[in-house]
């Protein structure tokens, strides 16, 4: 029998150490130390930190960027004696992420009495150019664990689709592609940025205010939406100080304009599952996000009506869920075509506060 040399044992030890390091890095929270500016998971880590800092929150707000900017928790809390609101809305988030944000908050000790879920018309529509569920998993990569294999069954009911989404949860390094590419390309810069982020997150405490934008720009200043391209060319030539605001209006409008929107039955089922999950924890208020679309270019009238009926149907089937009346807006309350500015956000927050407390 051949004798194994020291090199064999050293190689084995090196392999075991590397395997342990990779497991720690991607499956046991090690990569949290490398979350830096620009990481898709930074908003998730911020939400987790704020959940830990505000465990006494009784009102939990979930949604995408329309809720992240439209609901102003500091305004709400300053006017509510016996209730504290925690806004865990995440830009670009979708149905699966909303469910996971609740579980993250619960794990940190938040026990809400009320959950406000803010939805947009496209919540129930699939897009051929964007995979909402995969995007949710990519943002949630620092928080995924073994429970996600069971959670995914309700969001990918057939075996083929389940395998498609369970695979990156199992082989998690694929979800870190962008982060790893940046780490290997600029290791020193990445480590410095990650250290700044860690210090920034460590400063959050029970008395910390929640981060909110204060932009007072109004989409009224954009003029006719269908003429935005020519308006932008003119503003670039004159170096208009509101160019950045107008480019944001154009980005929001162009991303939604003339999209082939249709209610997808599988998304509707996923949404009903989400509502049941939320209603098992607290009283749920569903509210449709305000938007500015006078020409019906982003949300055709037929799709608007179909989405509203689908929300009504979902709410009617689940006890403990209430659909709030639409919040009326004008262009002076909107930052762009789908996000409220400071004025609109405060009015919308007061509208919610008087109905959920």
Tens of each residue's pLDDT in the chain, 357 residues: 556 677 877 878 888 888 888 889 899 888 988 899 989 999 999 999 999 999 999 999 999 999 999 999 999 999 998 899 999 999 999 999 999 999 999 999 999 999 999 999 999 997 777 899 999 999 999 999 999 999 999 998 889 999 999 999 999 999 999 999 999 999 999 999 999 999 999 999 988 888 888 889 999 999 999 899 999 999 999 888 889 999 999 999 998 888 888 999 999 999 999 999 999 999 999 999 999 999 999 999 999 999 999 999 999 999 999 999 999 999 999 999 999 999 999 999 999 999 999
* pLDDT recorded at residue 13: 83
Three-state DSSP class for residue 58: coil
Q: What span, in angstroms and rounded, lies between the C-alpha atoms of 343 and 172?
A: 42
Whether 248 contacts 335, CB under 8 Å? yes
What residue has token string 């929300």?
A: 311
The whole-number pLDDT of residue 3 equals 62
- Count the neighbouring beta carbons within 10 Å of the beta carbon of residue 247: 15
For 355, the token pair is: 């109905």
CA angle at residue 134 from 131 to 140, to 5 degrees? 140
* Letter string b/e over residues 191-203, b meaning 16 or more CB atoms within 10 A of that residue's CB: eebbeebeeebee
Q: How far is CA 90 from the centre of its chain?
A: 2
Measured distance CA(207)–CA(205) in Å, rounded: 5
Q: What Cα–Cα distance (Å) separates residue 63 from each residue in 42, 68, 85, 232?
A: 16, 7, 14, 30
Q: Which tokens in the block code for residue 319?
A: 């006890």
Report the b/e string of 150-167 with b at 16+ CB within 10 A: ebbebbbeeeeeeeebbe
* Backbone phi, psi, residue 101, to 5°: -65, -35
* DSSP 8-class letter at 340: B
d(CA 76, CA 61): 11
pLDDT value, residue 322: 97
Residues 70, 85: Cα–Cα separation, whole Å: 13
């Amino acid at each position: 029998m051949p004798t194994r040399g020291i090199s064999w044992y050293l190689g084995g030890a090196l392999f075991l150490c590397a395997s342990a390091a990779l497991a720690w890095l991607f499956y046991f929270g090690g990569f949290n130390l490398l979350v830096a500016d620009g990481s898709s998971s930074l908003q998730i880590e911020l939400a987790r930190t704020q959940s830990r800092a505000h465990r006494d929150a009784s009102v939990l707000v979930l949604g995408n960027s329309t809720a992240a900017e439209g609901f102003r928790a500091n305004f709400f809390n300053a006017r509510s004696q016996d209730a504290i609101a925690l806004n865990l809305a995440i830009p670009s988030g979708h149905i699966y992420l909303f469910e996971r944000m609740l579980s993250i908050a619960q794990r940190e000790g938040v026990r809400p009495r009320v959950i406000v879920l803010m939805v947009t018309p496209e919540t129930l529509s699939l897009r051929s150019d964007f995979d909402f569920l995969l995007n949710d998993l990519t943002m949630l990569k620092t928080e995924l664990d073994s429970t996600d294999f069971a959670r995914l069954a309700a969001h990918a009911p057939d075996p083929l689709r389940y395998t498609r989404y369970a695979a990156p949860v199992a082989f998690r390094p694929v979800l870190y592609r962008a982060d790893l590419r940046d780490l290997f390309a600029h290791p020193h810069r990445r480590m410095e940025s990650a250290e700044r982020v860690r210090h920034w997150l460590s400063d959050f405490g029970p008395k910390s205010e929640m981060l909110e934008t204060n932009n007072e720009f109004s989409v009224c200043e954009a003029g006719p939406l269908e003429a935005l391209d020519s308006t932008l060319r003119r503003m670039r030539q004159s170096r208009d100080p509101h160019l950045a605001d107008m480019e944001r209006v154009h980005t929001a409008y162009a991303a939604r304009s003339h999209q082939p929107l249709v209610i997808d039955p599988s998304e509707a089922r996923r949404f009903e599952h989400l509502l049941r999950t939320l209603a098992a924890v607290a009283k749920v208020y569903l509210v449709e996000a305000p938007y500015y679309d006078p020409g019906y270019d982003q949300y055709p009238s037929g799709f608007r009506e179909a989405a509203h009926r689908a929300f009504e149907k979902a709410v009617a089937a689940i006890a403990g869920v209430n659909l709030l009346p639409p919040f009326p807006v004008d262009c002076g309350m909107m930052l762009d075509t789908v996000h409220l500015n400071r004025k609109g956000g405060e009015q919308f927050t007061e509208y919610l506060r008087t109905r959920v407390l």
